Every structure is written in structure tokens, then in C-alpha cells.
Amino acid sequence: MSEAWYDGASFSRKFIFRFGDCDRQKRASLYAVMKLLSELAGEDYERRGLGYERLSGIGQALLISRLRLQFLRMPLHIETVTASTWERCIKGPFFCRDYEIRTESGELLVSGSSQWFLVDIISREVLRPACLPEGGRQEDPRKSDAPECERLKKLEGLSFLGSRTVYYTDLDANGHVNNAVYAKIAVDFLPEELRTRDLREFSINYFTETKLGEALEISGGETEKGFAVQGIAHGTLHFGCLFGF
């Protein structure tokens, strides 16, 4: 297994973006970056005794609510990087977690902010952070370069871009569409001319879980803040995101 280590509250792992992780320009895909960061956060909780099995055993799960990423440059095919994450603080119901991806020489490529919350896996009720069992949690107040997560709202008047069926392999162990898969869906429905541009910012909010058998109606369009994409099923907003190029 690739090298992983702790430095105080910060958990880091070396990673190489491979062929299947990259787009046609041989740049890491947004999905691959989000998958790496999500796995890193999960592994950090796992190592601190708050992993999926422990929490599901007591009827709890930690779910991501918002993520905001800032890109100075996308990692490239077979580039070795170090990805790091740390829990920054608790704010209201949210566990705030930040991220960084750096080159081997320390050059910052990606920084991120995220907000996670604790739920009861049966009732789906949001639980207070204090309900999280004792584990080896540690905080580091250092803020990454990425701005704080923003609250995105349902936008009216966006153009219909297409419909996306939820497939079996989109689901994770929580039985719903995995958080990184939403980015993959959003990129798939971007206008072709935007996909080749350099992504500078990406912000996503997860509103409602999406299950197998559902179909997301994808809409999108240019806004003052960037290109917005949102997914709606049965009139309910499931995710909304914003690309800044």
C-alpha cells in the first residue's frame, strides 16, 4: 500500500493518477480528484476508530454535505502527488474538513474545504456532532487556501441538458450515489467547449440522496459565478454545483 502518514491532525497519502483516472488531455479527472479526497477522509476516520463499520454498527454515518475545491493546476497522468486532509473545526452540525494536494516538491495543486454531518442511518435524522462516539479525533484550525464552502440554491431557468439514469456501480456502501459520482455526472453534461478549459474552482452541495432506479434530470447554464449544473428527480433538487474556469 502506498505511503501514508500522520503529522498531527493531518493525514497524508502519496498517490499516482493513472490512465483510468485521467481525461483525454491526460489530466486527472475531477472525479478522480474527488474520489481520492473522499477516500482519504474515510481512511482518516477509519484510522481514528470512526470508520464505516464502527459507525454503522451504532446506526450512524458521516455524510458529506458540501465541498469546494480550488485548483492551481490539475494533477497530470502518472504524476506522484501527496494528498492531505485534516479536520479543522466543528461549526453547528458540520464537521469542517480541509484538503490539499501537492507535488513531490511541495507545489500546491489543489486545496479544498468540505462540510460533513452525522446522520442516523435509519431515520436519516441529522445528529449533533456530540453524538459521534469517542475516537482519536484531532483538529487543526489551519484553513486551506480554498474558500469556505458556499450554500448553493436551486436555480430556475437553467437549460435542460439531459437525463441520467442511476446505475448499480454509481452506488456505494451507503446504498446511494457516491458523492464523487455526482461530479462525474456534472462533467458528462458540461458543454464540450468547457471540458477542455482549465478548471479553477468547483463547488458542490448535496441535497438529497439518490437511489438506484431514479433518473436525474440535469440542467445547467452560465451564471454570474460560473457554469451551474444541477440534478433534480421528482421535482426535488439532489445536487447543485458550480464550475469556475
Partner 1 sequence: MADRWFDGTYYKREITPNYMDCNTERRVFLHYILGIFSEIAGDESQAKGRTHEVLVNQGRVFLITRMSIRLHRTPCVNETLIFRTWFRKTEGRFFLRDCDVTSPEGELIASVSGTWVLIDLAEHRVLDTSEHPLSGLKSFSEAADSPECRKVFSEETLPVIGTRPVYYTDLDCNCHLNNTAYSRIATDFLPPEYQSREVRDFVINFNKETKLEDTLEIRGEGRRDSFLIQGIAGNVQHFACEFTFS
Report if residue 142 touches partner 1, rule: CB under 8 A: no
Determine if 193 is a binding residue for partner 1 (CB under 8 A).
no
Q: Confirm or reject binding of residue 92 to partner 1 (CB under 8 A).
A: no
Size of the residue set binding partner 1 (CB under 8 A): 35
Could you say whether residue 130 binds partner 1 (CB under 8 A)? no
Distance CA 218, CA 232 (A): 7
Beta strand pairing status for 126-127 and 94-103?
unpaired
Minimum CB separation of residue 143 from partner 1 in Å reads 27
Q: Considering beta carbons, is residue 89 or 173 the nearer one to partner 1?
A: 173
Which region among 110-118, 152-160, 185-193, 226-234 touches partner 1 (by CB under 8 A)? 185-193
Q: Note whether 217 binds partner 1 by CB under 8 A.
A: no
How far apart CA 207 and CA 108 sit, in angstroms, is 30
Are 112 and 180 spatial neighbours (Cβ–Cβ below 8 Å)?
A: no
Q: Among residues 64, 149, 180, 199, which is the contact residue for partner 1, using CB under 8 A? A: 180
Contact by Cβ (8 Å): 191, 228: no
Give the x-and-dash track for 147-176 against partner 1 (CB under 8 A).
--------------------xxx-xxx-x-
Q: How far is the CB of 148 from partner 1 (least distance, A)?
A: 25
Spatial neighbors of 84 by CB under 8 A, at least 6 apart, are 10, 11, 12, 40, 99, 100, 101, 102
Q: Which helix (H) or strand (E) holds 230?
A: strand 226-233
**Residue of 160, 190, 64 lying closest to 116 (CA atoms):** 64
* DSSP-derived pairing of the beta strands 10-16 and 60-71: unpaired
Residue 93: all three cell numbers together: 452540525
Q: Which stretch binds partner 1 (CB under 8 A): 66-74, 114-122, 139-147, 186-194?
A: 186-194
Residues of this chain, 2-61, that bind partner 1 according to CB under 8 A: 2-3, 18-20, 22-24, 26, 29, 31, 35, 38-39, 42-43, 46, 52
From candidates 195, 201, 209, 221, binder to partner 1 by CB under 8 A: 195
C-alpha–C-alpha distance, residues 202 and 189, integer Å: 15
What is the spatial distance between Cα 99 and Cα 96, in angstroms, rounded to a whole number? 10
Phi and psi (nearest 5°) for 239? -150, 155
- Residues at the interface with partner 1 (CB under 8 A): 1-3, 18-20, 22-24, 26, 29, 31, 35, 38-39, 42-43, 46, 52, 77-78, 167-169, 171-173, 175, 178, 180, 184, 187-188, 190, 195
